[in-house]
Amino acid sequence: MSRISLALLNDSVEAFLRRDYYLADSIVDKTEGVRSLENEIVLFLDKEKTSSSTQHESTNVYIKLILEDITKNCGTCK
């Protein structure tokens, strides 16, 4: 997910500099996939939270923080 986000960020800068509206539109479409993937991961972690130990819960929190960091650092993801 991180690689995809960084590639989208790189492509969005390229689209901006070239004023390539078609590339920009395709990037917006691709970000929906990243957002969907993020939502799936969060839902999975929330499901695991109800049936897991304290150790797993702290791991889930760390994973959610990593996801948040990825999306904050990729301006096209949110």
Q: Which domain holds residue 9?
A: 2-73
Please check the confidence at residue 77 and state whether its pLDDT lies above 50: no
Mean pLDDT of 6-35: 90
Q: How many domains does the chain have?
A: 1
Asked whether residue 49 is domain-assigned, the answer is: yes
Residue 56 falls within a domain, yes or no?
yes
Full-model pTM? 0.56
Q: How many CB atoms lie within 10 A of CB 16?
A: 12
Say if 60 falls within a structural domain. yes
Per the domain annotation, does 19 fall within a domain? yes
Q: Where are the alpha helices (DSSP H) in 1-78?
A: 2-18, 21-50, 54-73
Cβ neighbors of 69 (< 8 A, separation 6 or more) are: none
Instruction: Check residue 40 and report its DSSP letter.
Output: H
Residue 54 tokens, joined: 């304290």
Average pLDDT over every residue of 49-58: 58
Whether 28 is covered by a domain: the verdict is yes
